Every structure is written in structure tokens, then in C-alpha cells.
Chains A and B, each alone.
Chain A
Amino acid sequence: MAQFNKSDIGALLAKQGILIAFAVFMIGFTLANPRFIELDNVSGVIRSSAILGVMALGVTFVVIGGNLDLSVGSMMSFSTIVVLDLHDKLGPGLAIVAMFALTLALGAFIGFLVGYLKLNSLIVTLGMLSAIHGLTLTWSGGKNMDIADKSGTWFAFFGQARVMGVPVPILIFALLAVLLSLLLAKTPFGRKVYAVGGNGQAATFSGIPRARVVFMTYLLSAFCVATAGLLQASRSMGSQNTVGQGMELEVLAAVILGGASLLGGSGTVVKTVIGVLILGFIQSGLLLVGLDFYVQYIVTWIIIILAVWLDVAAKRGRLWSPIA
């Protein structure tokens, strides 16, 4: 039974374990294959993590508020399909506006159920995962969506263009990360999200409108999902109905890896970004080292459990669980 002392190396490891692990991985992969750290690869990794990352930013708010969102994957499929379908009917500008409006409406619906009706978020978003998938299939009739004239539209800008040499998805991801980080850390709203997630009852007693705060976190999550859907649609200019399937759990994995507690009340946007990048770089690093793609699943499995274990161990002051 290792007892952690505050001054101990163990405590440092547990507190900053995720950053240390990140550094170790980066150095290890670079030693194994110097191409790993080259600008091309780094920018490629961030670019392909951007969609997952944007979604994770929104889910961070939901999780800090003490809830879960398992519906972001199918909601992302919905946004992608809707914007692709409307692109040829309404033109790119209106299509994007309409898609954001519809996705935000879904987010508002979930926010209403979880915030105002106080229903269990796990089950509500589980139900919405299924319901939104049905909605997407109904919208598309089960067919893949494609933009007819792929070269004659500025729609490709979001997913494929570069501004001053930086791919636009990275710019959008970075911009959102900075804005949301400020929102969470520096505004009254951000403090309310922590308060509601940390102790909902205490927050209510101190006059924080819990329902409205929870509602807003889901609206924010839906906004991020819509942005992710836009990036996805613009990058591929065509999509299947199941493009976001399974992403809800990857997103959650990134948020947890970043150190947000599922109990609510803890986590930051920056840490989530690190969580997303760790997942992305591990994936790329393992491939560059020459390992098969499935190894990343197994490595992710081990990393998540170790990361959360260290976190839990640091909080209770002992490594092994007290459960008999």
C-alpha cells in the first residue's frame, strides 16, 4: 500500500501524470522515427484530430456541469448529412445557417430534458443517440449524401483550405479552444458551470440557476457538434449516415484522459485539448513506428485506465482501492 506524501514524486506524477506521459510519448516516438516530430506530421495529426477535438470542447462543459453527452456522435452525423443535403438545395451559406439552427434545436431539446426536467443525462443522451440516428436516416432516406459540384463551391474552405499555411480546421479548433477556455475560466458563466457540477444543491441554494446553466452547456455542446459536422462535411464533401458513429465514446475518452471527473466540477478546456492531442499523437506515432492500427486501441485502453487510476489514487492518498 503505497502512501503518497504531498512532497512525494508520486503526487507530482499523479497530478501532472498526463503531461509527463504526453512528453514521454512524444520523445519516445521521435527517437523511434524522427519524422514524427516534423511539422508536416504534427500539423497532419492536429488536423485530423480537429473534428474530435471540437466535439470534445463542448462535451467538456457538459461533463464539468456533472452530466454526460452520449449523443454527440449521432448528432455529428446529423449535422454532416443535413449540411451536405441542403448545400445543393439552398446554397452553402443558407445550408450552414440552417444546419446550425437544427443542431442547436436538438441541443436545446436535450438541455431542456436534462436541465429543466432533471432527467438522467446518461439515459436521455442514450435515447437521443438512437433517436437522432433515426432522424438522420429519415432525412437522407438511408442514402449517402454528396455535393454534386465539388469544385464549384467555396464550401470546401472549412475542411480543406489553408490560411497563411495553416489548415483551416486547425485554426477553427484553436480559436474555439481559446474562446471556450476563456469562457470557462474567466467568466461568471464558467464559474457557474463548475459550481453546478461540483455541488448542484449548494449551487441552487446560492442562487445559481442550475437548470439554465445545464441547458446552456448542452447548447454549447451542440454548437461544437455543428462546427465539427461542418468541418467533416467540408473535408469530405460527401458522407455516409454513420460518419460520427462511436465518436461519442472517443470524445468522452479524450475528456476523461484530460482529467475531467465524471462526477462533475473538475476539468479544463486546456486539459481536454491535451487529451485530444494525446489520442491523436499516439495514433499517428504507433502507425509511424510501424505498428498496426489496432494497437492504438489497446494502448488507449491502458492509458485511460492508468491516467484515471493515478488521478483517483492521488485524491484518496493510496494506490490500491479500499474496496475489500
Chain B
Amino acid sequence: MAILSARGLGKRYGAAEVVKNLDLDLAPGQCLGLLGPNGAGKTTTLRLLLGLIEPDAGSVRVLGLPVPHAAREARIRIGVVPQMDNLDPDFTVRENLVAYGRYFGLDAATLAARIPALLDFAGLTARADARVPTLSGGMKRRLTLARALVNDPDLLFLDEPTTGLDPQARHVIWQGLRRLLGEGKTMLLTTHFMEEAERLCDRVVVLDHGRKIAEGAPRELIAQFIEPTVVEIHGDAAEAWAEARGRGACERLEQAGETWFCYTREGAALADSLAAEPGLRFLQRPSNLEDVFLKLTGRELRD
């Protein structure tokens, strides 16, 4: 039984098809990652699933309810972490939770009972009466996450939850999200941090230009689309090496600026041979979802 399913979802703005014939399924307790470059249609997809905008094609069911027809009833059981912080700057941490909880129709007693646990989850118990502008970026994100939990949702929508955070703050958010998954919450996560999707998601859907171009478990996608090892090669002699030896040494060779990306099954042997060459610098690493992503969506910039 899917907690969320979309069939043939489509949305166009004028001539631009922002979401095209998209199917999505999310089972209870799972995390589904929506990956895509900027402008791939991730946020529009979330807005369609929340019933904020009408699709031009297709149908959506969320928590057993037809959306957008019963969007209000669905949203009662959804928590949303938006891409941009939109906390109330005039309020304290606690007041933000109270005001937000009221939008879900929660009364003062319910909120008073729920808020200590939310503050604890966000690590903000000591800052409960601090005003929002005095919080760090990481604290604001944690508060935004806690705010999304105020209605004890069955389903969480997270739109790039760690964009703009430093590594420490990002890891704290990830721990929080893992804990929620452990408690059985279901998540839909958009991100362009491949690492984030690999760490958290059971399955990922790669979107580009509004279309699904790949779907599967992160490990499966890596195994399916890409060689297990990548060697990144740069330095004065890199170009000469790539021309003379690259094709033979690599199963696939890509150039991006001054760097050559050599995808291979024989990473250790290649690294040994490169170490002997003067004028080369290289990094050998296991391939990851980012490599899959770049292979599928290309290396050119999306502005």
C-alpha cells in the first residue's frame, strides 16, 4: 500500500513542460529521494503533491486521499521543510512552534504537551525563548524541521533540507532525519547533494527537464550506470596522458575543464601506473551517486 503515488503527472507553464508524465510511488516508512539539477522540476513536483497547484495531467493520491481535491485533509498529516527558511522572525523558537501548530488546529494543551519533545529533538531546549534572528543557520534549519513535526505527520516533505549548511550542521540534520526514519516516518526528500540521498534514501528518482530518467536504490543505480572506481586526473601532463593512454586505461573517460575523469574496474592498477608518471596528480575513489547523476544529466551548468 503506497502512502503516496502519482501517475502520469504533468505541469506546464506556457511552452515549458516543467513536469512530464511522472510516476512516483512511496511506501510507508521509506525515504524517496528526488534528485535533479536546478530547474529539473523538483519543487514543482512537491507543490503538485501538496495540492498547492493543479496538475495539467495525471493524478495524485497522498495518504489515501485524492490531491488536490482533498489537499487540505492530506496536508493535516504532512510536514513540510521548505527550501528557504520562512520562520517568523518576530517570534521566539517556542512561539514559532505554537503559531505553526495552531494552523493545524492544535489546541494550547496539545501544543504544550508536544513542544518540549520537539525542542529536545531540535536541540533547542536551552534556546526556547530566543528570537529567531539570534539563531545560527543550523539552528534555524533544526527549528524548521521541528516545526514540520508539530502535527506529528505521517509523511514528511523535505525540500533541500541541508542546502547552505556547514558540514557539522548538515550531519546533525541527517542524524535527526535518520531518527525519524527509525521511528517509522515516511519521507520525500529533494536534494542535489548526492551524499544526502545515498545516506538517507531507500530509493531515488533522478529528474531532468521534468522527466524521470532513472529510478532505483542508490547502490543499484551506481552498479547499473557506472564503473565502481573513478580516478580523477589533473596536472601538466594530464592531457598528454589522456591522449596517449587514457582510452586504453579507462572504460570511460570524461573531461571537465582541466580534469579527466577515468571510470574503471581496475582502479588500483591504474593508480599504480599513474603514480609512476611525472607531472600527474590524481585521486582514486569509489564511484558514487554523484557520478551517476553527472553521467545522466551531463556536466554543463544549469542556471
Do the two shown chains form a genuine complex with each other? no
Interface residues of B, Cβ cutoff 8 Å to A = none
